[in-house]
Amino acid sequence: GEDVEQSLFLSVREGDSSVINCTYTDSSSTYLYWYKQEPGAGLQLLTYIFSNMDMKQDQRLTVLLNKKDKHLSLRIADTQTGDSAIYFCAEIGSSNTGKLIFGQGTTLQVKP
């Protein structure tokens, strides 16, 4: 079945790079997404990558996709305290229903 896994917690120092990892099982996924959830807020779309791409860069964010290993990562350069949040990886399920399958979320803690 469809499953998305993430590590639960990451702690970095301000100014360092953060790398959040995600693995998925559905090899037919077309799009993979990264969302950010700040305390008490909804989900904010950070970026997404199409399955035929290996990398996508958007300012401080870099997404790497290894389709062979079904591994997705989100790198945040020059991490700031405002980046502290929960980050969710999500894929579109192969059932063509349009629904997103979410990972458990990675809590990023940025220490000053």
**x-or-dash string of contact with another protein, 22-51, rule CB under 8 A:** -----------x-x----xxxxxx--x---
In order, the DSSP letters of 41-96 are --EEEEEEEETT-SEEEETTEEEEEETTTTEEEEEESS--GGG-EEEEEEEE-TTS
104 touches another protein by CB under 8 A:
yes
Comparison of 14 and 48: residue with beta carbon closer to another protein = 48
103 touches another protein by CB under 8 A:
yes
Up-side HSE of residue 43: CA atoms within 13 Å toward CB?
12
Backbone angles phi, psi at 83, to 5 degrees: -85, -10
Least Å from the CB of residue 80 to another protein: 22
Residues in the chain: 112
Pairing of strands 100-102, 106-111: unpaired
96 touches another protein by CB under 8 A:
no
102 touches another protein by CB under 8 A:
yes
Q: With contact defined as beta carbons under 8 Å apart, do 40 and 29 qualify? A: no
Least Å from the CB of residue 48 to another protein: 7
Stretch that binds another protein, among 20-28, 66-74, 76-84, 91-99 (CB under 8 A): 91-99
Comparison of 36 and 70: residue with beta carbon closer to another protein = 36
